Amino acid sequence: MEREPLISLIEKIVKRLASEIVTPKYVKRAVYGATAHKLPADKMERVVRESSEEFERAVIAKVEAKVDRLIEIIRDSDPNAQGWRPSGIPRKDISGHARLALLEHVKRLEEIKKNRLDELEEKKAYVNRLKEQIKELDDGSFSILTANTVQN
């Protein structure tokens, strides 16, 4: 694995990131928060540029160290060693780990279903009780009224 193309790519990414993060708006806010002073436009431009460059240097230095460490680990490892994806098919290799989460999810869904069915049974029983009360209170006068209106 070559280091230089990787570092070059990282530098491009960090520069783009710095241009989006270290903006005059954020620098103004930081300077004003730290000093309670507002800087003139020319000084603010310089502070933004220097802040961006310092941010880039710091991030690139840290990332380069991590990349160097990863390259060292790759060089020192056995090329025939089995990796974290033994089959080389990510979906198959992760299925064992995902299965536990899916089983938990199914269990929660079954509990929710049971609760909803219990609620439904309670509501059905309540509706049946109301129907019985209506039958007890019904003296037939409403049906006579509707029959008379239909005939007229």
Q: What is the pLDDT of residues 40-80, one digit of tens each?
A: 888 888 888 888 899 899 999 999 999 989 888 888 887 77
Q: Tell me how far the alpha carbon of residue 47 is from its chain's centroid.
A: 35
Residue 78's identity, in one-letter code, is D
Q: Is the pLDDT higher at 102 or at 88?
A: 102
Judged on CB neighbours under 10 Å (0-12, 13-18, 19+), 69 is exposed
How far apart CA 116 and CA 142 sit, in angstroms, is 36
DSSP designation for 80: T
Cβ atoms of 38 and 9 within 8 Å: the answer is no
Mean pLDDT of all residues belonging to the chain: 85
| Apex 134 CA angle, 130 and 135, nearest 5 | 120
Judged on CB neighbours under 10 Å (0-12, 13-18, 19+), 18 is buried
CA dist list (Å): 46 to 52, 55, 100: 10, 14, 55
Asked if residue 109 has pLDDT above 90, the reply is yes
- Binning pLDDT at 50, 70 and 90, where does residue 111 land? very high
